Amino acid sequence: MATQVSQPGSRATNLLMSQGSSRRLVRDKLTQYGVTLGGTMVFVALLLIFFYLLYVVKPIFDGAHVSPVTSIDLHSSALQTQDVPTLMVGSDEQNEILYRVMTNGQVAFYSALSGQLVKQESIELSAGVSIVSSVAAVPSEQRFAFGLSDGSVIIAGIHFSVTYPGDKRLITPSLRFPLGETPLQVSPDGLALKQLGFVYTSDKMSFAYRADNGLWYLTRQNGEENMMTEEVEWESTTQVIEGAPQNVLQQLMTPDQRQLLLRSGGRLFIYDISYADEVSLHQVIELERAKTKVTHVALLAGASSILVSYDNGLILQYFQVNGENGRQYQQIREFKNSEGVKGIASEFYRKSFATISDSGELDLLYTTSQRRLFSETFDIKQPKTMGFSPRSNGLVVEAGDKLHLFSVENSHPEVSWSAMWDKVWYEGYPEPQYVWQSTSGSDDFEAKLSLMPLAFGTMKAALYAMLFATPLAIAGAIYTAYFMSPKVRSVVKPTIEIMEALPTVILGFLAGLWLAPLIEDHLPGIVMLILMLPVGILLSAFAWYKLPGRWKQRLPEVYQELMLLPVIIFIGWLAFYLSPIVEVAFFGGDTRLYITNELGITFDQRNALVVGIAMGFAVIPTIFSIAEDAVFSVPRHLSNGSLALGATNWQTLTRVVLLTASPGIFSAVMMGLGRAVGETMIVLMATGNTAIMEWSVFEGMRTLAANIAVEMPESAIGSSHYRVLFLAAFVLFIFTFLFNTIAEVVRQRLRERYSSL
């Protein structure tokens, strides 16, 4: 029987191979788990970003919330004035002290916590003088005035002083008299002021009143500080308002003391009172509506809009619009509640207002976004007067011999889906527009937060960048990968790829401070350069093609690609040399003035052309690198087989190589587009950041990314502006996600289609 004798080293070899296979298996498993974990973490990170952005953005679409806090029984207080009409109600900033101003000159302050009367004050009058009229100023001033029987006026305001005795906050209410407690004589003839409207500032006062003789007067007092005594000296002018309507039901004066509004019946008479000695009727608005009547006319915050309410629940907004007859009031929006409007109150500084019906239905609305923020019926029947607190987080309503305090949560009334993506008609604008203007130096300013100009600017910047970068990058990648000699390719490809390492802030700096003035000064040369370069390159190629073969052989193949450098340099020099000549001959010596005056096109120095060139320069390396790798990676046997069958190099390129590399080329373009959409610094520095919607290459734009970079440091955390900027980031995130998703889907389909080649 034969015996097998194993080799001495075979067992050791098998053992080593077994150990190597085990280690390889372990490494493969670890690699697999590591890649899976990394991919999962990337996906989780994207989801976390997505949901965090939604978490920050969501509150701007929530409605308002109004809830009752306390009710103060006016019968239980020591002040028995329930039958006296109320002029105005309100509270302090902390909603701890409520006040009620009555038409007889008494003012009562109540504690919101205990419901007790805290303080009572009244207007002191001389013997034989009585109050015959009363009027409240705009809500933000918390000021009011009383017209007296002797033709004088007393102006007073609510004031709250805050002290901290024993480290506890103490709010002390009081009346403040800006002109002193002595009545100010308004009517030169001492006529009783039956109806009164007023506006007070530190250097000018205006009083419109109906005297007991039935005529309407305007008294304007201008103050000037005496340089010697530092006292304000007042100069008074009184003018009869000719043709004023009879039976005026309501009178209002704008805070700028330019317009007087008198409501009589179903008409609103608007007078221009800019000059006291030249009072004129500016416009008459017909307020009549079929089967309904006007209940109230009020000024919205800022006094640029007029609110008109009706007993059927209709509320109309009017503001001035430029037209053939100048600035005229025009109906802009309308709102409707289920019941009639008994009272209306506007916020101090925002365009929100509240309405209430006889049955207690309380509505909170915002004009610009045209949102109904809140609507609910409370047990506050037969309301009389209501007013917001200074911070608009409280609402005081007098109804049924009680003073009701409501807590108001209304953080983001100005934001709505339509306000961000549709045209909005803002006060003072001639028509509805897309506008982004988040801040201003005026207290009456209303934030305009339309995202359409930013999304449009993002697409515009990306479009011009891709128009500049895509042809150059793809053509350069094809030539480098397919036609260029290996020696030159080994230099060109790394050189272009290293361009991607250039900081975009440097590119933006150069574009804004060097390229933009260069293009403005040599615009004809830039246009000629764009036209002459392709033509010059094609003519050079044709000339090379016609050269005798023995001449071509004298130049080594390695350097044939470099022959175009002198041509490009010469064409560039020629275009800039001819630029001033062409400018003088065809554009009167100044191309910018010609474009602006003759063609009517706005020309900004930092425009879309500058952004396209600068951002295209940044995008080119991304597109070139991916596209060049895709073309160079096409298997050589495909191109060799095509050439062997008699196809030319060009036919092989267009019908074999490009089709096979098309998934990679498309991915390169989409990656470049994603880079252009998200670019920040170049757009920020190379354009004027004007949020406009114009396709003109000579005008600028503002992109989502640049807007976030500029305004995020200045926005208050939690404000509407802050959250809308996060929404802009969310939109940018969605843009990039969609582009990458489309790129991957198309790439996979192209790969499946041409995988059989």
Per-residue pLDDT reduced to its tens digit, 718-751: 888 999 999 999 999 888 888 778 877 877 777 7
Give the count of domains, the chain.
3
Q: Residue 160: beta bridge partners? A: 173
Instruction: Please report whether residue 446 resides in a domain.
Output: no
Instruction: Please report whether residue 708 resides in a domain.
Output: no
Please enumerate, as own/partner, the contacts of 492-500 that have beta carbons within 8 Å and a separation of 24 or more. Answer: 493/625, 493/628, 496/620, 496/621, 496/624, 496/625, 497/621, 497/624, 497/625, 498/621, 499/617, 499/620, 499/621, 500/618, 500/621, 500/622, 500/625
User: CB–CB of 307/300 below 8 Å?
Assistant: yes
Q: Both 609 and 675 in a single domain?
A: yes
SS3 161: strand
Calculate mean pLDDT across residues 162-176: 90
- Structural domain ending residue among the three candidates 217, 246, 275: 246
Instruction: Please report whether residue 181 resides in a domain.
Output: yes
Q: Both 482 and 395 in a single domain?
A: no
Instruction: Please report whether residue 262 resides in a domain.
Output: no
Q: Both 99 and 148 in a single domain?
A: no
Locate the DSSP E strands across 324-481: 326-336, 343-346, 352-356, 361-366, 371-377, 383-388, 394-399, 402-409, 436-437, 448-449
Q: Both 108 and 128 in a single domain?
A: no
Q: Residue 65: beta bridge partners? A: 409
Would you state the pLDDT for residue 756? Answer: 58
Selected residue with higher pLDDT from 557 and 628 = 628
Q: pLDDT band for position 432 (50/70/90)?
A: very high
Find the domain containing 154 and state its range: 123-246
DSSP characters over 207-231:
EEEEETTS-EEEEEEEEEE-TTT--
Question: Which tens digits make up the pLDDT trace of 443-464?
Answer: 667 888 899 999 999 999 999 9
Instruction: Please report whether residue 269 resides in a domain.
Output: no
Q: Both 237 and 331 in a single domain?
A: no
Q: Both 630 and 738 in a single domain?
A: yes
Calculate mean pLDDT across residues 553-574: 79
Question: Which tens digits make up the pLDDT trace of 629-663?
Answer: 888 888 888 888 888 888 888 888 888 888 888 88
Q: Both 572 and 689 in a single domain?
A: yes
Cβ neighbours of residue 212 closer than 8 Å, sequence gap 6 or more: 191, 192, 194
Q: Both 584 and 512 in a single domain?
A: yes
Q: Both 460 and 516 in a single domain?
A: yes
Output the domain CATH number for residue 544: 1.10.3720
- Structural domain ending residue among the three candidates 410, 442, 463: 410
Q: Both 114 and 128 in a single domain?
A: no
Calculate mean pLDDT across residues 216-243: 84
* Cβ count near 82 (within 10 Å): 14
H-run or E-run covering 13: helix 10-57
Q: Both 529 and 496 in a single domain?
A: yes
- Structural domain ending residue among the three candidates 410, 443, 464: 410
Would you state the pLDDT for residue 27? Answer: 84
Instruction: Please report whether residue 727 resides in a domain.
Output: no
Output the domain CATH number for residue 316: 2.130.10.10
Instruction: Please report whether residue 717 resides in a domain.
Output: no
Please, what is the average pLDDT of the chain? 87
How far apart, in whole angstroms, are the C-alpha atoms of residue 477 and residue 473?
6
Q: Both 168 and 299 in a single domain?
A: no
The answer, yes or no, to whether residue 1 has pLDDT greater than 50, is no
Instruction: Please report whether residue 50 resides in a domain.
Output: no
